Amino acid sequence: MKCSMSQEGTLLSSGHPAETRPPDVYSAACPTRQLLDRVADKWTTLVLTLLRDEPMRFNALRRRVEGVSQKMLSQTVRQLERDGLVTRTVTPTVPVSVSYALTPLGGTLVDALQAMIDWAEDNMAEVSKAQTAYDERRLG
């Protein structure tokens, strides 16, 4: 995929006026990059992978995603709904209940994200070892 824009120039430092480069993911204004920023969000990843298994209600998500605030979860699910990645279903029970579920589009994204999580689970130990080695080299 190719983005066809040139850079905005507004956010660049003074010394380098806009240069013409093949525009791709690494360009700031590319929509793909914007999407990547969103997708790489911490809560987004966790919420989406939770919903892979089953639809969940708001407070169920909140309990499961430890450390998320009401505000951030609310923000996250609204964003996901806007992006067409999850559906929001309101059931008019006595206290209203709201359920969130993956859309097919969201499902395809979860697969990519899961690869990332799997990597983290598989390689955490090795990374920790590298960190320790690095720190000892610096301090010792």
Residues that bind its own copies (CB under 8 A): 1-3, 7-8, 11, 13, 21, 23, 25-28, 31-32, 35-37, 39-42, 45-46, 49-50, 63-67, 69, 81-85, 105, 108-109, 111-113, 115-131, 133-135
Q: Letter for the amino acid at 136?
A: E
Q: Which of 5, 98, 115, 116 binds DNA (CB under 7 A)?
A: 98
For DNA, the binding residue among 33, 58, 83, 114 (CB under 7 A) is: 58
Helices 31-39 & 42-53, crossing angle to 10 degrees?
A: 70
Interface residue list for DNA (CB under 7 A): 11-14, 42, 57-60, 67-72, 74, 77-78, 88, 95-99
